Amino acid sequence: MRKTLSIAAMLMATSAVASEQVGTIKVSDPVIYKAFENARAAGAYMMISNMGAEGDLLVDVKIEGRMAMIHESREEDGVMRMLHVEAISIPSEGMVEFAPGGFHVMIMGLQPGEFPTGDMVDATLVFDRAGEVPVTFVVTEQGMDHSGHSVSN
């Protein structure tokens, strides 16, 4: 019995690091990938779950002192493009994944050497219903090249 309890406590501690929850919105595995060491932009990725009975909308992502936008990478006529997204619908009891090649938070205007691997970056996700949900992204080494995409807004 004692063993079972301590394993449960460990699992809780682990998931507390990897996800943050406010109300019915849960954000898991928030990471930032830099394409290369001195990249001027980086993409932030995560999984957003909505455990509520009502759908919600992600309308903004704010990072203090940074320019951050919600983007979607999409293939059009054989060319990968990044489009600015005004809002993302998070369905009730559903989830939306931000991943390379799809939705991402684009962080622009980085100076050389900023966001070293392991750096923690605080951000605020703004939802229509849930309001502000704080999240901490961890800068992680792997990722796909984000620099060659053309941007259309």
Contacts with Cu ion by CB under 5 A lie at: 71, 82, 106
Q: Is the CB of 24 or the CB of 71 nearer to Cu ion?
A: 71
Smallest separation (angstroms) from Cu ion to the CB of 135:
18
List Cα–Cα distances, 78 to 26, 129, 150, in angstroms. Answer: 34, 37, 13
Q: Exposure of 70 by Cβ count < 10 A (0-12 exposed, 13-18 middle, 19+ buried)?
A: buried
- Nearer residue to Cu ion within complex by CB, 24 or 104: 104
Cβ closest to Cu ion, residue 4 vs residue 142? 142
> What is the smallest separation between the CB atom of 60 and Cu ion, expressed in angstroms?
15
Which CB sits closer to Cu ion, 57 or 85?
A: 85
Question: Rounded to whole angstroms, how far apart are CA atoms 112 and 106?
Answer: 16
Q: Could you tell me the smallest distance in angstroms from the CB atom of residue 71 to Cu ion?
A: 3
Return the residue matching tokens 């939705």: 103
Taking the complex as a whole, the smallest distance from the CB of residue 12 to Cu ion amounts, in Å, to 34
82/130 with CB nearer Cu ion: 82
Overall residue count recorded for the chain in this entry: 153
- Cα 85 from Cα 101, distance rounded (Å): 14
User: Closest distance between Cu ion and the C-beta of residue 28, in Å?
Assistant: 21
